A and B are shown apart, each in its own frame.
Chain A
Amino acid sequence: MVKSEAVWKSFGRNEVLKGITLDVDPGEVMCMLGPSGSGKSTFLRCINHLEQINAGRLWVGGELVGYRQKGDVLHELPEREVARQRREIGMVFQRFNLFAHMTAEQNIVEAPIRVGGVKASEARQHAQQLMDRVGLGDRLDAYPAQLSGGQQQRVAIARALAMKPKLMLFDEPTSALDPELVGEVLDVMRGLAADGMTMIVVTHEVGFAKEVADTVVFIDDGVVVEAGDPSAVFGNPQHKRTQAFISKVL
C-alpha cells in the first residue's frame, strides 16, 4: 500500500529525514514511535504530499506520490492530480483541525460533496453512519467549539473516513487530549484496525501500539532505527537508542 525508498527531506539546512525505507501492506497497522523531532510526523506528511520530499521515492497504492515518471525524468503533478491522490488518503491531525465555522455534519459532508461529487442526501446519510460509528450519532449539529477534544478528534476521524480512503494517517491523534479522553479516540482507532483499514499511526501511546500494531517502527534522528513485530521491538529491542527510548516510555 505504501512503499518508501530512501526518502530524504530537509527544511533548509535542517535534514529531518535521512533515508527512510519501509513498506506497509494493505490492512497493516503500523505504529511509528520516536522522540519528538525525530522526523516521524514529517514522514507522515510526505505520504500525502503535504511536504515535498527532496530525494528517494514514495509510492501509495503503486502510484508515485506527487510526481509522474516519464523515462528517467520526474514531472511534478499538477494541483488537480495531487488533490486526487490525497482523496485516497485520510489524515487525522494532532490538533483536530475541524472546520470551525461548520457543524460536525457539514465538516463530514464538505469534501464528499465538493470533491467527490457525492449527492448531498447521500453524503448526509453517510455522515450519520460515520457519526454513529464514532459514537457521536446525536451530535451532528454541534460546532467544533461545542465538543470536547476527544469528541472533536472522533469527528475528525469520521470526516477523514467520509472520503472512503484506502489508507489512514494519524499524526499524534491523542497528544492534544486530556488523559481521560484518550481512551475514546483509541477505541475508535481500534475498531478501524479491526475492520481492516490500512493505518500509519504516529503516537506516543505504547499500550496502543503493543495491542493494535502489526508493525512498530522506531525512528530517531531521521532514520529507521528498528522495525518489526511489537513484541520484538518492545520486548527485546536490539539497538541502544531503542532501548533508551523504551525504558523511558514504558
Chain B
Amino acid sequence: MTEIGGAPDPAPTGQPPAEIKAVPVRRPGRLVAGLLVIILGAALGKSVATNPRFGWGTVGDYLFSGPVLDGLVKTIELTALSMVIGILIGVILAVMRLSPNPLVVAASGFYIWLFRGTPVLVQLLFWAFIAALYPVIALGVPFGPSLFSFEANSLITPFVAALLGLGLNEGAYMSEIVRAGLLSVDEGQEEAAKALGMRRMQTVRRIILPQAMRVIIPPTGNETIGMLKTTSLVSVLAFTELLYTVQLIYATNYKQIPLLIVASIWYLVLTTILSIAQYFIERHYGRGTARGTPPTLLARIWQSFTTWRHTRVEVADPTRHGL
C-alpha cells in the first residue's frame, strides 16, 4: 500500500451502545375502537345469519344453477368485449386529440362531448331502437352506391345494442384516461425517439404508450369494475345477463332478496378477481421505476397484521430488532 500521508481514515470504535428498549405508549382509544368494531360486526353477522328472510337456502339453490351461470358468462362476455371496444376507441380518440390537425381534434372532442354528456342508459335504449331511425343499415361508398345492406332489426340484436351502448360510451371515458397517460410521459422520451430516427406512430407505440400504461392501468381497472356493474343496466334491453336472469327467476318464484343476493355474490366474486388481476398488470408495467407498485389493500392488511405480531414478539424477546 502506498502511503499518501495525512490522518488515517476514521473507523468505528468499540461496541454500539445497547439498543433502546422502551415501554410502548398505551393507546386506549385504539382498544375502544377495536372493541366497537367487533361488537357491531358480531351484531350484523348474527342478524344476517339468523334472519330467515335472507333465504340462504334459496341462495345456495340458485348460486350454481344453469340459468344463473349462463347469465354470468354473458355478463363476463359483455364486460370484456365492451372494455375492448372502449379501450380501442379510447386510444384512437386520445391520439386524435393530441393530433396537430384541428379538425381531427374537434371530431374527437365532439365524440367525447356527445357520449359523455348523455346517460349510458339513454344510449343503450337508443341503440335498441335504432331500427326506428335507420331501418336499413348499408355499407358502401359515402353518397355513392351501397355494397351490403342489413335490416337493422336483425343486425342490432339486444347483445349488439348492449355492446354498442356500453363500448361507445366507455370509449369517451377511456380516451381521457389514455390522454392523461400519454401526457404523463416526459417529452424528452419523444425527443430521444425522434432523434434516433423513429417515426411518430412508432414512437407512440413503442416508447410513449408502454410508459403511459403505468398511469393508464389503475383507472382502467376501475373502469372495468365499473363496466362489470354497468352491464346490469342492459337488463332493460331484455338481454339475459346476470341481473336480468335473476329478475326472470324471481318474477316466477317471488324470492327477490335471495336471488338479488345470488347476483351480488357473483358481482363481488368477479370484482375481486379483477382487482387481483389489476395488481399483476400494474406490476408488469411498473418495471423500470424505482418506486414499484404500491401494495394492495390485502397486502396492507397482511402487513399490519404481521407487524402487529412482530411487536408482540418483541415484548417476549427484547433482544430482537424492532421496526
Which residues in A have some Cβ–Cβ distance to B below 8 Å? 48, 50, 79-80, 83-84, 86-87, 89-91, 93, 95, 97-103, 110-111, 114-116, 143-146, 156, 159-160, 163
Contacts and interface: CB of A to CB of B under 8 A. Distances in A.
B211 A101 contact: yes
Contact of A143 (B186, B189, B196, B287): B287
A83 B288 contact: no
A160 B210 CA distance: 21
B195 A50 contact: yes
B188 A95 contact: yes
Contacts of B188: 93, 95, 97
Contacts of A50: 191, 194-195
A102 B195 contact: no
A170 to B, nearest CB: 12
Nearest to B195: A91
B198 A97 contact: no
Contacts of A101: 210-211, 285, 287-288
10 contacts: A83-B194, A84-B197, A87-B196, A87-B197, A90-B195, A97-B188, A98-B192, A102-B288, A114-B198, A159-B196
Interface stretch (B88-96, B199-207, B219-227, B259-267): B199-207
A79 B200 contact: yes
B289 interface: yes
Contact of A115 (B197, B285, B288): B197
B290 interface: yes
Given A93-B191, A101-B210, A101-B211, A114 B202 contact: yes
Find the residue from B192, B194, B202, B211 having the highest chain A CB count within 10 A: B192
Nearest to A84: B197
Interface of B: 186, 188-189, 191-200, 202, 206-207, 210-211, 285, 287-290
Given A48-B195, A87-B197, A143-B287, 6 more contacts: A93-B191, A99-B192, A99-B207, A103-B288, A114-B202, A163-B196
A108 to B, nearest CB: 10
Contacts of A84: 197
Which residue, B188, B193, B197, B288, has most C-beta atoms of chain A within 10 A? B197
Contacts of B210: 101
Contacts of B189: 97, 99-100
Contact of B289 (A79, A99, A114, A145): A145
B196 A97 contact: no
Nearest to B285: A101
A115 to B, nearest CB: 5
Candidate in B189, B196, B200 with the most chain A CB atoms within 10 angstroms: B196
B198 A115 contact: yes
A111 B198 contact: yes
A145 B288 CA distance: 6
Contacts of A163: 196-197
A234 to B, nearest CB: 30
Given A98-B192, A100-B211, A143 B288 contact: yes
Contacts of B199: 79-80, 83
A156 B196 CA distance: 11
Nearest to A49: B194
Contacts of B289: 100, 145
B191 to A, nearest CB: 6
Contacts of A116: 197
A102 B198 CA distance: 16
B109 to A, nearest CB: 25
Nearest to B202: A114
Contacts of B192: 91, 93, 97-99, 156
B196 A111 contact: yes
A79 B193 CA distance: 13
A221 B210 CA distance: 40
Given A79-B200, A99-B189, A101-B211, A144 B195 contact: no
Given A93-B188, A95-B188, A86 B196 contact: yes
